[in-house]
A and B are shown apart, each in its own frame.
Chain A
Amino acid sequence: MSIEPFNRLVKLTARAFYDDITKMESQPKTGRSDNRGIAVVVLDALTRRQWVREEDLAKELKLHLKQLRRILRFFEEEKLVTREHRKETAKGAKIYSAAVAATGDGQQTGKEGEEKIKLHTHSYCCLDYAQIYDVVRYRLHRMKKTLKDKLEDKNTVQEYICPNCGKRYNALDALRLVSMEDEYFHCERCNGVLVPENDKLVAQEVGDGDDNARRRQRENVKDQLERMEAQLKPLNDQLNRVKELAVPEFGSLQEWEARATAAARAANSSANDPSKSSQGLGYGGTPMPFLGETKVEVTFSGVEGKEGGVKSESASMDVKLMPPWMIKEGMNLTTEQRGELKQEAKMDGSSGQVDSSDDKKSTVQNGEGQNIQEEYFKAYYAALLKQRQEAVEAAKRQESLNMPDFDDLPSNRQVGMKSKREDDEADNDFEWEQPPISGNASESYKVNDLNAEAEPSGDDDDDGVDWESD
């Protein structure tokens, strides 16, 4: 709960100040057409994570690692992000992946085998909420102060005017104007007592232009100040909202890993008992209020993590952002899968359809033959439609680069599909149930493996190649 306001703060900040990437692109030679707004994407992505390995993040965002690093370095300088670099052996890397996976539902088994990381320097990054809060406030303060100083003549030279003869002086003439008899300045020409022109309408810099220009400039500043107040109001409001809340603190990478692992252990012992899990987290030394929250988050990333370590984003994202038709497309994304699907459709229409419904319904249907058959038909038609769409979509999709969600879906689908095929062969309604149970262990395993390997390396897998090259 407590992290949400802070994430909103980060998102508002991103849009207010980092909308235009040109600020950080010192060399605009990155051929990629238009990458303004990438900074916002990166910050948004970070709000959905805790500590994340930068390679992983780059892959999930479909960014070049170099580009991502440049952005992260920029944000590090801006004090929004903390980074840690460490040389790790395969073992060291495993600690991190284990922490990620463990925080899910302890299903890191699929992962461990594939983790072959050499001794490399790995960089991790994480939002530093406490500092972000301070930095944003400071930035707003400076902005406001600069404008207000201008408005209040703070650094301007006081002017004086002689009411008798109208001659003007300013503070730099002061030495000549003092009189020994009283405490005022006197006109050189007529010895009249000068009055300060404290009329705020005239703000003057030494030797500046004429009055009109000054007045215009002044109006300008005032206008600027007003616009700033108005436009940054959401950000200010959010800052106020967040003020009373304790700041989410993930600690250093090491602490975080320790805590995550401990939490996972606690969670394993008692599945969903919040008190237990919070204890586990507490072990790492986090402030208590966040524990519940933190745990939720961890679970998210964990789930994704188990699916190959890379997807973290997509799983949660799909749910929110993907319209249903997208998901269908996603099924057919990889060429392999597409092939499979078609075959199946020809040989046995039902099989193709099954997978779509399968994922969602298999658990519910549990042995109700009728239901299943109905579903079968529905699904069959759906599948046919889908295939037609898919052919079109696939073509389109291959052109569109930024669809982080696709990797994710195939893996799910594959599981479903394979189980279906088996079903078809068996041709038995009863068997339906089995794949998820018995077949799952072996089948889904492989699937996971494929995915997992594809992602870390990125180019072993056909799928990976397709998408990356696009």
Chain B
Amino acid sequence: MFFHIVLERNMQLHPRHFGRNLRENLVSKLMKDVEGTCSGRHGFVVAITGIENVGKGLIRDGTGFVTFPVKYQCVVFRPFKGEILEAVVTMVNKMGFFAEAGPVQIFVSNHLIPDDMEFQSGDIPNYTTSDGSVKIQKDTEVRLKIIGTRVDATEIFCIGTIKDDFLGVINDPAAV
């Protein structure tokens, strides 16, 4: 699920960035530092959408670095148990398959793949129904349901299922 929230961060800036462009430099460094990171609490920071304010800088003793408290708005993505996501398959193996929904990695173990889909090894490992009409392989798009998340301080990993109504393949690149 996406959220638009305000976060705060103390940015340290090298004195060489001071000058007319101080603010721009601050923001671009913020983007570089923050976008794409993940915090267990807020989820993945997808994009910074604006700066609320930049506080007074504080010169650090001995280094000359200046610390600015920056309040910024950003879009974060935080997966939840029970949430339905659309994801792209990245890897298929005998144990199941991995998929990505944006920054989130999801593993679907083979017991949560419908029973009528069998694993086929080979150049392109895949799960296929007996009549061959549905196939899951790398780059297949699937709709899945999150059934568990592991949230660390800097990482979120999910496991999902496609063994339920309306879940499974939503497009098949091989068929196009």
Which residues of A does B touch, CB under 8 Å? 153-158, 160, 171-172, 174-175, 178, 183-185, 196, 198, 206
Contacts of B147 in A (CB 8 A): 155-157
Shortest A151–chain B CB gap in Å is: 13
Q: Are B148 and A171 in contact (CB under 8 A)?
A: yes
Contacts of A184 in B (CB 8 A): 93-95
Q: Are A196 and B93 in contact (CB under 8 A)?
A: no
> Known interface pairs A154-B112, A184-B93. Does A174 touch B161 (Cβ–Cβ under 8 Å)?
no
Chain B 136-163: CB-based contact to A (< 8 A → 1; otherwise 0): 0000000000011010000001010101
Report the Cα distance A156→B112, complex, angstroms: 9
A174 is contacted by which of B107, B125, B164 (Cβ under 8 Å)?
B107
B47 at the interface (CB under 8 A from A): no
Q: Are B159 and A174 in contact (CB under 8 A)?
A: yes
B105 at the interface (CB under 8 A from A): yes
Report the Cα distance A243→B69, complex, angstroms: 69
Cβ-Cβ contact count across A and B, 8 Å cutoff: 57
B34 at the interface (CB under 8 A from A): no
Question: SS class of chain B's interface: helix, strand, loop or mixed?
Answer: strand
Question: SS class of chain A's interface: helix, strand, loop or mixed?
Answer: loop
Q: Are B98 and A158 in contact (CB under 8 A)?
A: no
Most central of A155, A157, A174 by chain B CB within 10 Å: A174
B93 is contacted by which of A171, A175, A178, A198 (Cβ under 8 Å)?
A178
Contacts of B112 in A (CB 8 A): 154, 158
Q: Are B150 and A172 in contact (CB under 8 A)?
A: yes
Q: Are A178 and B159 in contact (CB under 8 A)?
A: no
Contacts of A172 in B (CB 8 A): 107, 148, 150, 157, 159
B111 at the interface (CB under 8 A from A): yes
Report the Cα distance A155→B147, complex, angstroms: 6
- 6 CB < 8 A contacts A-B: A156-B147, A158-B159, A160-B95, A171-B107, A171-B159, A196-B111
Contacts of A174 in B (CB 8 A): 95-96, 98, 107, 109, 157, 159
B10 at the interface (CB under 8 A from A): no
B91 at the interface (CB under 8 A from A): yes
